[in-house]
């Protein structure tokens, strides 16, 4: 399905289920970019590292690592060490996003000016054709 | 006690399952922990040093059935034998058996998948407690991977997305004929959060685990919560979960 959705001027964003199941079943090159979302925890970084390796080895698309809930310099160091050379996008731990999730609101509606949402806006803009 | 933890990805299943199993084991029970999630995670929450210890390839043999390729445990190896031979020993005496961890593009999990299923058909008896951690989402709960469980614990955060997932998982778990499906309200921040979980999932809430920065810190360090912060409020809450489930399972 992903391979058949492409149209000029259309952006398709797919949110895959947790883990590697869907990524490992992708055939060919149905996507331009795989955004690997991790948290700065040992288990999440390990899963993310395997996902990034699988995407690269399979030639499934460009890998962009996005680290969510980043609190401090230790977190930044942990993320960068797990993905050398990949320059991860860093999304700070953001009470406003947690509060929005509890209310069932989109972070962009609830806290557009928060650092966390601004980081995501920059990520989206960087993925537009010609920007990456 | 035979328990399977299910829930939306990120709800905290592995952290709770690992701590729950350790609490049971520290109380002197024989505990087998089953990890059917092909992602690393439960090993760290349990305090087992290796994250990749699935059934080895030579535990499995291929055979043909109706012209189709099938897999089974190798001749002479029973499910209980596989547990004795391949389950890793962990802290407090827990034994830990993994499906095996996904590796590489288009990872073929046929062999470990079938072998793990055969182990589920022949688990140790009632002198063992079994604690399972199923992957986030609905696929495995729907496909009988938690069929050993007498209780499904649906781990739910007080967010609309997690409540919705919890409600769906509750229906799936109930449709498997599981005797007991209960919610665990996790990452609670407000006094009425457990009520939100009960109302949102339609389930009885076995217990509530508070939002506890110690859990996130242990996760960051890749350590078991029970080792990193044994006095954490979340550990106390898991102890209460164990007691609450014991009370429910005790003959009346």
* Position A68 in a domain: yes
* Position A25 in a domain: no
Tell me how many domains chain A contains.
2
**How far away is chain A from the Cα of B200, in angstroms, using its nearest Cα?**
13
Tell me how many domains chain B contains.
1
* Position A13 in a domain: no
Residue range(s) defining the domain that contains residue A122: 94-132
Q: What percent of chain A has pLDDT over 70?
A: 97
Note whether A76 and A107 are same-domain residues: no
**Residue-wise pLDDT tens digits, A96-129:** 888 898 898 999 999 999 999 999 999 999 888 7
* Position A61 in a domain: yes
Note whether A46 and A78 are same-domain residues: yes
* Position A20 in a domain: no
Q: What 8-state DSSP symbol labels residue A87?
A: -
Contact call for A104 and B160, based on CB within 8 A? yes
What mean pLDDT is reported for chain B?
88
**How far away is chain A from the Cα of B140, in angstroms, using its nearest Cα?**
12
For the question of an ipTM over 0.90, the answer is: no
Cβ-nearest to A19 among B38, B44, B161:
B38
Note whether A43 and A77 are same-domain residues: yes
**How far away is chain A from the Cα of B237, in angstroms, using its nearest Cα?**
22
Report the predicted TM-score, pTM, of the whole model to 2 decimal places: 0.87
* Position A19 in a domain: no
B177-196 mean pLDDT: 90
Low-confidence ranges of chain A (pLDDT < 70): 28, 131-132
Residue range(s) defining the domain that contains residue B49: 2-249
Contact call for B161 and A25, based on CB within 8 A? no
Burial classification of residue B9, based on how many CB atoms lie within 10 Å of its CB (0-12 exposed, 13-18 middle, 19 or more buried): middle
Note whether A73 and A103 are same-domain residues: no
Separation CA A33–CA A128 (nearest Å): 11
Note whether A79 and A118 are same-domain residues: no
Note whether A54 and A80 are same-domain residues: yes
* Position A14 in a domain: no
The B residues from 104 to 133 touching A (CB cutoff 8 Å) are 104-107
**Number of cross-chain residue pairs from A and B with Cβ atoms under 8 Å apart:** 87
Residue B26's domain is classified under what CATH number? 3.40.50.300
């Amino acid at each position: 399905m992903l391979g058949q959705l492409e149209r000029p001027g259309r952006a398709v964003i797919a949110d895959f289920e947790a883990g590697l199941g869907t990524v490992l079943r992708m055939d060919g090159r149905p996507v331009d970019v795989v955004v690997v979302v991790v948290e700065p925890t040992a288990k999440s970084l390990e899963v993310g590292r395997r996902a990034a390796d699988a995407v690269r080895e399979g030639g499934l698309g460009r890998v962009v690592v996005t680290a969510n809930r980043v609190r401090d310099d230790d977190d930044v160091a942990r993320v960068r060490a797990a993905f050398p050379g990949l320059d991860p996008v860093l999304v700070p731990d953001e009470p406003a996003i947690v509060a929005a999730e509890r209310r069932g609101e989109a972070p962009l509606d609830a806290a557009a000016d928060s650092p966390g949402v601004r980081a995501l806006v920059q990520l989206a803009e960087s993925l537009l054709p010609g920007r990456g | 006690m035979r328990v399977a933890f299910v829930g939306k990805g990120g709800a905290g299943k592995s952290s709770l399952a690992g701590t729950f199993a350790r609490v049971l084991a520290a109380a002197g029970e024989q505990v087998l922990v089953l990890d059917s999630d092909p992602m690393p995670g439960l090993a760290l929450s349990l305090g087992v040093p290796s994250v990749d210890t699935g059934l080895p390839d030579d535990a499995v043999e291929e055979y043909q059935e109706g012209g189709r390729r099938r897999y089974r445990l190798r001749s002479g190896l029973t499910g209980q034998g596989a547990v004795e031979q391949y389950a890793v020993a962990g802290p407090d005496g827990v034994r830990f058996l993994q499906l095996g961890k996904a590796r590489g593009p288009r990872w073929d999990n046929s062999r470990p998948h079938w072998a793990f299923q055969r182990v589920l058909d022949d688990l140790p008896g009632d002198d063992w407690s079994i604690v399972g951690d199923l992957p986030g989402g609905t696929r495995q709960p729907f496909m009988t991977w938690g069929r050993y469980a007498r209780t499904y614990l649906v781990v739910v955060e007080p967010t609309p997305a997690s409540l919705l997932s919890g409600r769906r998982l509750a229906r799936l778990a109930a449709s498997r004929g599981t005797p007991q499906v209960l919610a665990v309200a996790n990452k609670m921040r407000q006094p009425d959060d457990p009520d939100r979980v009960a109302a949102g999932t339609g389930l009885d809430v076995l217990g509530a685990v508070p939002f506890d920065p110690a859990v996130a810190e242990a996760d960051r360090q890749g350590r078991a919560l029970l080792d990193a912060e044994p006095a954490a409020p979340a550990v106390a809450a898991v102890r209460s979960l164990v007691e609450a489930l014991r009370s429910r399972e005790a003959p009346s």
